[in-house]
Structure 1
Amino acid sequence: MIEMTISGRAKDLGGFTVRRLIPVAKRRLVGPFIFFDHMGPAEFAPGKGVDVRPHPHIGLATVTYLFDGEMDHRDTLGVHQTIKPGDVNWMTAGRGIVHSERTGPETRAAGHKLHGIQTWVALPTEIEDIEPSFHHHKVDELPVIEREGVWMRLILGTAYGETAPVKVFSPIFYLHAETKEGAIFKLTDEHEERAVYVVSGEIEIDGRLFGEGEMIILDDEASIAIRTVRDARLIMCGGGHLEGERHIFWNFVSSSKDRLEKAKADWRAAADAAFENTYFTLPPDENEHIPLPET
């Protein structure tokens, strides 16, 4: 039933912990998911917060999903959107977009908690360079699925006969589950590739126990039963196998190494030209950026 497990190594970013689960050397994607970060939980004192300066993306869609706290998104389309727990921010980078993620001024002044998941979804090769776009869906727009001792919210795609309203580009599912001790439920089996990530608590799959920070990559063909050993919060995700190889450099994803090189050159040129009349431009009200890394 279990193909492999991945243990996210926590990295302290100055009082803010992030665990990266994928990509890893032995597993680059799960369905179309090519990046999975567990951020927090963290508590910020008044006056402190997150400041992810403007940076570019190509060839993917970013998805931000929060359990606690809030974050302000700004991008070159002129979108300024605050995301709150249970909402979905889906940003399609396509041919290229720049965005920032920051703690809003009121939340920063008051002090706050932050806890959530950030993922990237790789786009099918034929639409990697589509026009960028942004879609926001509030928590009450997303389907809720309930079983005995199990509550689930469908963030993206299809599962258990439900469909989330977020526009997607390939077969996908993305679920947030809260499960009570002793609860047993079957993982959706309509998708080719599947993974379960334990945000907190403890579960059992195929006679093996898994706890906080572990991602379980499941066999494509197996019918999977999940038993909750201790009250658990889970993220379950995956979808159809994405055809073709994907390459990653920094925030860029593409099936073409040449396309990555062009994106790198475009970001350097934009920075050198102070983002005036260039391929990449900064979001409104932003005047700084993250430089292109050397490696």
Structure 2
Amino acid sequence: MSFFPGRDPEPGDACAVDSIETLIIPRTSDIGGLEVRRALPTAKRRLVGPFIFFDRMGPALLRPGEAVDVKPHPHIGLSTVTYLFDGKIRHRDSLGTEMVIAPGDVNLMTAGRGIVHSERSPEELRGNPLSISGLQTWLALPDALEEMVPTFANTAASELPVIGDKSVEARLIIGALHGQHSPVTQYSDTLYADIRIAPGGRFVIPANAAEERAIYILDGAVDISGETFPADRILAFRAGDEIVVSAAEDQAAHVMLFGGAALSSKRYIWWNFVSSSKERIEQAKEEWRTGRFDIVPGDEEEFVPLPES
């Protein structure tokens, strides 16, 4: 997704669990006809590892005549990771890529020095009710790769390793966990996993899984060290602690685990632009304003204008 016209997410109430550094409650707004909850960045927590934006799309059922329509818009200095639970989105970008993203696939678009893309409900599915549910996260690129050549890669759900037993199924999206390794490219140490815990089940997040770690609770509630946390919360954990995430005895839980190594320098964010340099962001703003970014083949007629502030 793109520019978020709502207020920033807020830190939650103080938490009694010592291993939880930050509790974040997402803010909700409408982007391109779809309800989106944004959990990162916040005033008190800008990043978790390289994760600098964390958006939950839906779940929603769009009526006939409604659709997701995020017009062409630019990015620099980051990778977008689109991961769907339900529905489909057609991705087009200025590299000439056209891809219908299916549930469970990993869509990794790396902007580097600059890319433009659009995200829309597939034309062939419009006119019928459309269900949509998923996540889009943004990963800030490390200093040495902020101006890399833009790239795009799609990894099918069948290629992702699965960790678990009869009470847990964890699909590893990016990185390494419990001896498994995802084939998805990472530009800095990154961890991202889709974890479903059966009623009464538990999942252990090792202390050394990543330097910085957090979970987003999608559905159900989880127990950590005797305290229960409901859905639509981010819990960012203290470094060096093993974390045990448990589901209630009568209800399954669905969480996303994410994090990685902390960046070596500060990142500035303005609209869809991320950079270690304020001057670079000003340059990108002027390039978009004056039409110097590339167009998106097959989606040339519309675009998102540069915000006024």
Which range moved further: 145-154 or 121-130? 145-154
In 2, the alpha carbon distance for the partners of 1:17 and 1:251 equals 18
2:53 to 35, 38, 44: 35
Is 1:207 the counterpart of 2:226? The answer is yes
Letter in 2 for 1:107: L
Q: Is there any run of 5+ residues in structure 1 with no aligned partner, and where?
A: 271-277
SS in 1 for 2:164: strand
Measured after TM superposition, the shift of residue 12 of structure 1 is: 4.4
Alpha carbons 1:15, 1:42 under 8 Å: kept: no
Q: Is there any run of 5+ residues in structure 2 with no aligned partner, and where?
A: 1-18
Q: After the TM superposition, which residues 73-152 of structure 1 pair with which residues of structure 2 at under 5 Å, given as runs?
A: 73-152=91-170
2:276 to 255, 261, 266: 255
Is 1:291 the counterpart of 2:305? The answer is yes
Deviation by residue 1:170-221 (Cα, 9 ceiling, x = unmatched): 1111000111111122113321100011001000112211111001000011
Aligned length: 287
Alpha carbons 2:51, 2:139 under 8 Å: kept: yes
Q: After the TM superposition, which residues 139-288 of structure 1 pair with which residues of structure 2 at under 5 Å, given as runs?
A: 139-189=157-207, 190-229=209-248, 230-270=251-291, 278=292, 280-286=293-299, 287-288=301-302
In 1, the alpha carbon distance for the partners of 2:236 and 2:143 equals 24
Which range moved further: 10-19 or 228-237? 10-19
TM-score by length of 2: 0.91
Measured after TM superposition, the shift of residue 137 of structure 1 is: 0.6
TM-score by length of 1: 0.95
Root mean square deviation of aligned Cα: 1.2
SS in 2 for 1:146: strand
Letter in 2 for 1:183: G
Measured after TM superposition, the shift of residue 48 of structure 1 is: 1.7
Is 1:59 the counterpart of 2:77? The answer is yes
Letter in 1 for 2:287: D
- 2:20 maps to 2
Letter in 2 for 1:243: S
SS in 2 for 1:110: coil
Is 1:24 the counterpart of 2:37? The answer is no
Letter in 2 for 1:209: T
Which range moved further: 157-166 or 95-104? 157-166
Letter in 2 for 1:253: V
In 2, the alpha carbon distance for the partners of 1:253 and 1:9 equals 20
Alpha carbons 2:161, 2:171 under 8 Å: kept: yes
Alpha carbons 2:32, 2:70 under 8 Å: kept: no
In 1, the alpha carbon distance for the partners of 2:114 and 2:93 equals 11
SS in 2 for 1:175: strand
SS in 1 for 2:200: coil
